[in-house]
Structure 1
Amino acid sequence: MAAACRTSPTPTNLSGPRGRSPSIPRFPTIRCASQPLRTPSKTLATADPVPAFLSVTAFAPATVANLGPGFDFLGCALDGVGDTVTVSVDPAISPGTLSISSISGSAASAAKLRRDPLWNCAGIAGIAAMRALGVRSVGLSLHLEKGLPLGSGLGSSAASAAAAAVAVDGLFGGRLSLGDLVLAGLESEKKVSGYHADNVAPSIMGGFVLIRSYDPLELLRLEFPTGQDLYFVLVSPEFEAPTKKMRAALPAEVKMKDHVHNCSQAAALAAAVVQGDVKLLGMAMSSDGIVEPRRAPLIPGMVAVKKAAIEAGAFGCTISGAGPTAVAVIDGEEKGKEIGDRMVEAFLRDGELKASATVARLDRIGARVISSSAF
């Protein structure tokens, strides 16, 4: 069965009325007791819903996963950068199926992606959302616009999956819970990068999300206080860091003292988020003693880049996801640009890699419908 979610505070109805653009409520805490999405919930699966719109376009933000000691259980969403998916009712497509009509955006990313929906992140998540809804009488076509490069460590696959799941759900009036949407995204992640939700959950839900449990799935939204600024300096070198290779570098066993150290830093990281303590957040983020020490040497110049970021005034710096993007945190945009310049210089000087820098705010909203077309 699909996820049954409990929220705090009590949610409003997630089903959007027909004829209106669906809105997806956001909650500070979402706990989802779930079984595999392969068997949709009976109430949705038997409905064979009628499309509320002819087409819907959804945007899903990039994400930073791990944040140092939060390996595979903590991530956050980034404002302004991400992927966009448009899903349309298409009479030329067999009922109950989905086809990818086109892929655009970054030339390098678009050229590498397959249009077979069973081997494309957006296609897999879109099909999973259709299955959860019980769609049988109409076929859908999907267009993916890649705003994120592949293998950047910024949740590129998760953003495609999140945008597709939200677009399909929005096409039918916004009937799925946030837990259902995350499960649809996890179907995609499981196939392309592993069963971990630290990218797809924050991309869908926005803000910081902690995965307390995978079986059953339990997601905790950590609220960074409103009115406080939090900026991420993202520096991406021209270098590929395949997730499989970066995972292969991890230790098979961890010493007790390293385990205790990382647990304390992860706890400090979560406390810093809810307290809005950017300095503590940065210090905890920089203190991973298990994963980062194994991965940093595989990215030319990363050690020097982290040092340059902190010397330039960043509160902390680490590897974003599996890399190769380096991420630093600061509380001001202009200061962030200066830090980014120093990090770019370090990649070139010590790693002989060209790099580009971007400063992004925390995205507090997550994946959302941005436009729709009526019949």
Structure 2
Amino acid sequence: MAICYQSPIKPISITPSTNLSTPRTLRCNLSFPSKTLTTEPEPVFTSVKSFAPATVANLGPGFDFLGCAVDGVGDYVTLRIDPQVHPGEISISDISGVGNSAKKLSKNPLWNCAGIAAIEVMKMLGIRSVGLSLSLEKGLPLGSGLGSSAASAAAAAVAVNEIFGGKLGVSELVLAGLESEAKVSGYHADNIAPAIMGGFVLIRSYDPLEFIQLKFPMEKELFFVLVNPEFEAPTKKMRAVLPSEIGMSHHVWNCSQAGALVASVLQGDLRGLGKALSSDKIVEPRRAPLIPGMEGVKRAAIDAGAFGCTISGAGPTAVAVTDHEERGKEIGEKMVEAFLQEGNLKASAMIKRLDRVGARVVSSIPR
């Protein structure tokens, strides 16, 4: 268990769980301003490069409280000590990557998800003596439903923390990323928590923030079939179609499916996971009609042997699960065909494993 109280007076206390086979609960009290360290740390690196993975949020019935990280695709941040930047501030020097990221994303750190998260970590650390320059490399397209903003925020938060010696724990990094998410796409942690922590994460509470890491068995194989059509689904637009009220029967159904999904993750039961993943009766029915061909894509995935299929996050990416990579390729082909036939959309498929690590530093230059 890790507990962080964001008090302006007392430093945080982190005590990692010693039993890695059990779910890990992390709690953060959000009642106080962001400042956790009383002494400004010295930088231990002149430059670090970090990576944060894509994420699949909601997982069907787990709207805003379940998510997982996906291996092999994500965003990179390169951060360096820059004497040209005013002490205590951060500058975004470059944005590159897939799609139209460089054109659509602002280099103003106050309006960029990586910049916002970096600033929050600097506040937590009390950085006032050095300036930082940040370069963002987008591996995830914008508005894809794969946690693009969370990946940038997670990579930036980890990079700033590591360049000053890794003083902050997971809870504080999630808080910094959540501040970014709140300004960019909404106050929800089901992307940012798994992007930083890896694996499956359950958001137990938002006030105070509490999240539980769910351990998927190491000996089990899990493959995600991610099919991304050439169609942008902005998170704010996709949230606007959600119902303000739901009936009791749908509430009971979705709660039971979310519980079954969590149990399936802990047991490594992919058939149960897929069945629950496909069973949302509240969010998916409202969003699927906005994604051309989505209903046909889901049918095609199940018919091709997927254990389950749903919308990844706010969409438009469709995600299916299987236990075999080659079968995943076949499922992906059928889903791509369905997007073209049913929705007149070109699409591409990726077969990816569960990312069990989360955001991490991939290279560094000592000071």
Give TM-score scaled by structure 1 length: 0.93
Alignment of 1:1-375 (within 5 A): 2=6, 4=12, 9-10=17-18, 28-35=23-30, 38-41=33-36, 44=37, 46-375=38-367
Question: 1:5·1:179 contact (CA, 8 Å) conserved in 2?
Answer: no
Question: Structure 2 counterpart of 1:130, which letter?
Answer: M
Q: Aligned-pair distance for 1:88?
A: 0.6
Secondary structure at the residue paired with 1:92? coil
Q: Aligned-pair distance for 1:26?
A: 11
Question: Structure 2 counterpart of 1:329, which letter?
Answer: V
Alignment partners' CA distance in 2, 1:78 and 1:313: 21
Question: 1:5·1:33 contact (CA, 8 Å) conserved in 2?
Answer: no
Q: Aligned-pair distance for 1:10?
A: 4.2
Q: Deviations over 1:252-281 (max 9, x none)?
A: 110000000000000000000000000000
Secondary structure at the residue paired with 2:345? coil
Q: Aligned-pair distance for 1:33?
A: 2.7
Q: Aligned-pair distance for 1:2?
A: 2.6
Alignment partners' CA distance in 2, 1:210 and 1:350: 34
Q: Deviations over 1:11-45 (max 9, x none)?
A: 9xxxxxxxxxxxxx99940321322674312xx1x
Q: Deviations over 1:179-208 (max 9, x none)?
A: 000000011000000010000000000000
| Counterparts in 2 of 1:347 and 1:185: CA distance versus 1, 3 Å | same
Secondary structure at the residue paired with 2:217? coil
Question: 1:37·1:132 contact (CA, 8 Å) conserved in 2?
Answer: no
Question: Structure 2 counterpart of 1:30, which letter?
Answer: T
Question: 2:153·2:177 contact (CA, 8 Å) conserved in 1?
Answer: yes
Alignment partners' CA distance in 1, 2:32 and 2:332: 41
Question: 1:229·1:331 contact (CA, 8 Å) conserved in 2?
Answer: yes
Question: Structure 2 counterpart of 1:251, which letter?
Answer: P
Question: Structure 2 counterpart of 1:31, which letter?
Answer: L
Question: Structure 2 counterpart of 1:59, which letter?
Answer: F
Structure 1 runs not aligned, ≥5 long? 12-24
Alignment partners' CA distance in 2, 1:286 and 1:320: 11
Q: How many residues align?
A: 359
Alignment partners' CA distance in 1, 2:255 and 2:13: 27
| Counterparts in 2 of 1:288 and 1:7: CA distance versus 1, 3 Å | farther
When the two chains are superposed, the root-mean-square deviation of aligned CA atoms in Å is 1.6
Please identify, of 242-251 and 168-177, the stretch whose mean Cα deviation from structure 2 is larger: 242-251
Q: Aligned-pair distance for 1:225?
A: 0.2
Question: 1:65·1:71 contact (CA, 8 Å) conserved in 2?
Answer: yes
Alignment partners' CA distance in 2, 1:309 and 1:6: 43
Alignment partners' CA distance in 1, 2:30 and 2:59: 28
Q: Aligned-pair distance for 1:158?
A: 0.1
Question: 1:8·1:28 contact (CA, 8 Å) conserved in 2?
Answer: no
Question: 1:54·1:88 contact (CA, 8 Å) conserved in 2?
Answer: yes
Secondary structure at the residue paired with 1:54? strand
| Counterparts in 2 of 1:343 and 1:107: CA distance versus 1, 3 Å | closer
Alignment partners' CA distance in 1, 2:102 and 2:263: 39
Alignment partners' CA distance in 1, 2:111 and 2:334: 39
Secondary structure at the residue paired with 1:218? strand
Question: Structure 1 counterpart of 2:300, which letter?
Answer: A
Alignment partners' CA distance in 1, 2:314 and 2:363: 32
Secondary structure at the residue paired with 2:100? helix
Q: Aligned-pair distance for 1:244?
A: 1.4
Q: Percent identity?
A: 68
Q: Aligned-pair distance for 1:316?
A: 0.1
Secondary structure at the residue paired with 2:202? strand
Alignment partners' CA distance in 2, 1:27 and 1:367: 21
